[in-house]
């Protein structure tokens, strides 16, 4: 049974328990125990990894992988829920080495650590609704950030996860960040198909919350009137692919984060042309090349305090895992930007 179907089954089970007069308090206590156990596992893993890094010394920041395998807020396909393990598998695939392009070694824990996944499906199986689930994601991110020198590098999951992640980063650092968002879509609908937590609405929630000072959206080529209107409402800097040749020099020489708490980078894999990354839910021709994306990321000036890679859908990937390798390469190069 797929994750989404299993989650629906157990949510119905919780509803039947309620109908059978199992008290709401008893269900709440059980849910809280599961959530506490989930946060404890992430906390203890983060603490162990951070203690090792502090003992090694000489580390100002280390990227720390945190998986958020959530797919139910996708408006089309829910396959991104299965992405984190596939990305990890590709990162350590024997077909390539463990070096980033600038020469940082991923098998050095001072560069990259891993604190595991937020157990999204297990929590949803207990009947936890999205308001509380988003809080759990935020608390998981804060738990990682509490352990210096770890900085969260989040593996999605659909793009709805960016809202609770950015919220956590901003709240933990005590102020807004600048966001570089690479995507075919602006994901800024006020409420898409009745879902305020839709993957198509995540950046509306971020901007409403005041968690970002500047939001730069790059790679856009599927944008509606509402997307443009919302961009104007929130003062978003939107760069569409139809003008990329004109914007290229600026985008490959960005300087962000001055006067705020740092830079957050969100990479939706569908920012890439499907020739480079076919394994996505929403295939939009006319996108960025992989080298375009790397040029933007590698030349970015700013303190990257956290990042995410989202919307890789293993269920639509090629048989040889081409898009998984693309997502893994994005993670590698973001690791290089974060670690120091």
What residues are designated binding site?
Answer: 159, 183, 185, 187, 268, 270
Checking DSSP bridges between strand 62-68 and strand 112-117, what pairing results, if any?
parallel
Tokens at 195, concatenated: 């879902």
What residues are designated binding site for Mn(2+)?
Answer: 159, 183, 185, 187, 268, 270
- Say how far apart CA 272 and CA 286 lie, in whole Å: 8
80 touches 181 (CB < 8 A):
no
Residue 273: exposure state from Cβ atoms within 10 A (0-12, 13-18, ≥19): buried
In the DSSP assignment, the letter for residue 256 is -
Buried b / exposed e along 320-339 (16+ C-beta atoms within 10 A): ebebbbbbbbbbbbbbbbbb
338 touches 307 (CB < 8 A):
yes
Helices (H), the chain: 3-19, 24-56, 83-91, 120-125, 130-145, 162-173, 202-208, 225-234, 244-251, 290-299, 322-338
């Amino acid at each position: 049974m797929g994750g989404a179907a299993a989650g629906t089954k157990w949510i119905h089970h919780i509803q039947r328990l309620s109908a059978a007069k199992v008290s709401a308090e008893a269900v709440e206590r059980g849910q809280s125990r599961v959530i506490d156990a989930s946060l404890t596992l992430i906390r203890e893993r983060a603490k162990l990894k951070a203690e090792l890094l502090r003992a090694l010394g000489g580390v100002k920041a280390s990227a720390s992988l945190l998986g958020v395998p959530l797919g139910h807020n996708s408006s089309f396909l829910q396959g991104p829920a299965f992405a984190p393990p596939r990305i990890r598998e590709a990162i350590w695939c024997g077909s390539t080495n463990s070096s980033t392009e600038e020469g940082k070694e991923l098998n050095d824990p001072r560069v990259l650590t891993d604190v595991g996944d937020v157990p999204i499906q297990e929590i949803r199986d207990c009947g936890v609704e999205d308001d509380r689930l988003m809080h759990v994601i935020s608390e998981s991110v804060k738990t990682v950030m509490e352990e210096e020198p770890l900085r969260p590098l989040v593996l999605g999951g659909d793009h709805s996860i960016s809202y609770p992640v950015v919220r956590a980063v901003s709240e933990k650092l005590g102020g807004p960040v600048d966001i570089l968002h690479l995507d075919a879509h602006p994901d800024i609908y006020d409420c898409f198909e009745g879902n305020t937590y839709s993957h198509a609405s995540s950046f509306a929630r971020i901007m409403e919350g005041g968690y970002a000072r500047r939001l730069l959206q790059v790679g856009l080529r599927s944008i509606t009137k509402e997307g443009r209107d919302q961009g104007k409402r929130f003062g978003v800097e939107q760069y569409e692919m139809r003008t990329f040749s004109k914007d290229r020099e600026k985008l490959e020489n960005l300087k962000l984060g001055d006067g705020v708490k740092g830079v957050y980078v969100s990479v939706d894999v569908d920012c890439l042309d499907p020739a480079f990354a076919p394994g996505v839910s929403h295939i939009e021709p006319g996108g960025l090349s992989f080298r375009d994306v790397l040029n933007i990321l590698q030349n970015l000036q700013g303190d990257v305090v956290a990042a995410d890679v989202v919307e890789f859908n293993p269920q639509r990937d090629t048989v040889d895992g081409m898009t998984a390798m693309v997502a893994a390469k994005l993670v590698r190069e973001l690791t290089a930007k974060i670690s120091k």
